[in-house]
Structure 1
Amino acid sequence: MTDLSKLPAVDPEVPNAARMYDYYLGGSHNFAADRDAAERVKAAVPYAVEIARANRFFLHRAVRFCLGEGIDQFLDLGSGIPTVGNVHEAAQATNPAARVAYVDNEPVTVASATALLEDNPLATVTMADVRDPDAVFAAPGVKDLLDLTRPVALLMVAVLPFVADEDDPVGLAERYRARLGPGSLHVLSHGTTDHDPSDVRAMSDVYRTTANPLTPRTRDQVAAMLRGTELVEPGLVDATEWRPEDTIGGQHRGMWAAVGRIR
């Protein structure tokens, strides 16, 4: 488990995307600066909370799908604050033997998750930059928990929007998949400019004032991040339309989502 004494200091005056997301979802692991920035997003985009919830509900459905495919190992990159409905909760409710390795570079996230997972030997949290796959896979919380000779569910849920173009998010996704065996699944969601460009620009303006500038992308750009995988039905769709469990549907939330099978 992560050594909390080695976590970097946190500046509570600088908003952070993980803590803002926690606030959207009703969590308490956030500071006044995070809440202020999140409220500015909500003022510009009134359905911002619905975007966060749609993304979280997609994550739950994708985790259950992976379990149904026989996968019991999860690598969750940019996992965020351990708000209610974490991957390990969703996975272990169905399969108590499921293993979950969380990775994030935000100290409050890592400290909170470390405390939450203290009595859970099948879930770990690692402090690492997801842009460095070698460091991620070498971390004890990943290499000692996950068996890479067996299929793994790679979760990149709303994390690549925070990877700038110059850091090559397409190549980054490929580098992670290259370390996983056939039968593994790549779960991905990503914010887009395709539906409401003015709203997305307003949201991005707020995130530029935080520690985590936002880079929304088009459907074609997101599809490139899954290149080489076999998309399971229904393919790359709005997060609300990926195997919905109700009949409401139809209300896009500006998040492309898909699950790709690694061959």
Structure 2
Amino acid sequence: MEDYSPIDLRTHQPHSARMYDYLLGGKDHYTVDGEAAEKALASFPMLRTAARENRKFLGRAVRYLVQEAGIRQFIDLGSGLPTAENVHQVAQSVDPDARVVYVDNDPIVLVHGSALLARDARTTVIQGDIREPRAILDHPRTRALIDFALPVGVLAVAVLHFVGDDEDPAGIVRTLAGGVPAGSHFILSHATADIAPEAAMGVQRAYRSQGVPLTLRSRERFTEFFDGLEIVEPGVQVVSDWRATEPEEQRPDHADVSWYGGIGRLAGSAREGAPGSA
């Protein structure tokens, strides 16, 4: 029997996914999310620019994986609310058969995403938390859509900075890498205080004061998340520079972005412990 118990959408407290939607100019957020985002904008007025540049990085990275790395299936962790240039739209613009599993811990993402993707058999959305990577890999809908005998594109874009040091973000990436086959790629991005420390730390304080955990990390700390992976050229970069299509003079200043991104490739033989393995 179907479970029709009501879903607690937690609209009384801000959520990072809905705050990100607000920053990107979306419509799927609540007053509490906009108010929390505005407090962060007061410290870092270019935060909307940073969010847009991160979104553009996601598009370029996914396009690279489909066009150049041959990836045709994706797991997007902390996917957030549907907006323009979603992973499935980018990937399917190159290969209409590309498949995507969207994952987020905000129940509103599940509601909106399920409605949006209801007619697309090549996409699905599940409620899950990046802090429980094994549960995501083993989820029935993940296993129904993803062929773990083939390389997977795993995205953790603008999500690991919401995972505290005590929750071992590098260990989460290692667990995910242990559950996908050789040739899989990881697209990661992360906010930093390296470039504009005063403004960035103000954002961190604003997020935390609203009950949204945010931990900014240095380039060195972020690069550690790629341990065990081959970092794809041009390496870890400010997201606006990673395989940028605009001339340098047309890109925003690094201080207005303050976000790193990169791609790591899992080399070697297939890992033990992948879903469905002996």
TM-score band, normalised by shorter chain: over 0.9
TM-score by length of 2: 0.91
Matched, 1:260 2:264: yes
The more displaced of 239-248 and 10-19 is: 10-19
How far is the alpha carbon of 1:109 from its aligned partner? 1.1
Alignment of 1:1-263 (within 5 A): 5=4, 8-68=7-67, 69-247=69-247, 248-249=250-251, 251-252=253-254, 253-263=257-267
Asked if 1 retains the 8 angstrom alpha-carbon contact of 2:134 and 2:175, the reply is no
Residue type of the partner of 2:166?
Answer: E
Identity of aligned residues (%): 39
- In structure 1, what is the Cα distance between the partners aligned to 2:213 and 2:203? 10
Q: Which runs of 5+ in 2 are unaligned?
A: 268-278
The more displaced of 247-256 and 96-105 is: 247-256
Residue type of the partner of 2:26?
Answer: G
How far is the alpha carbon of 1:234 from its aligned partner? 0.6
Q: Which runs of 5+ in 1 are unaligned?
A: none
Bigger CA radius of gyration: 2
How far is the alpha carbon of 1:5 from its aligned partner? 4.0
Asked if 2 retains the 8 angstrom alpha-carbon contact of 1:191 and 1:254, the reply is yes
Change in Cα spacing, 1:41 to 1:74, as seen in structure 2 (3 Å) is same
Across the aligned residues of Structure 1 and Structure 2, the Cα RMSD in angstroms comes to 1.4
- In structure 1, what is the Cα distance between the partners aligned to 2:3 and 2:13? 21
- In structure 2, what is the Cα distance between the partners aligned to 1:104 and 1:80? 6
3-state SS of paired residue (2:121) = coil
TM-score by length of 1: 0.96
How far is the alpha carbon of 1:4 from its aligned partner? 8.6
Moved over 6 A (4+): none
3-state SS of paired residue (1:66) = helix
- In structure 2, what is the Cα distance between the partners aligned to 1:210 and 1:80? 18
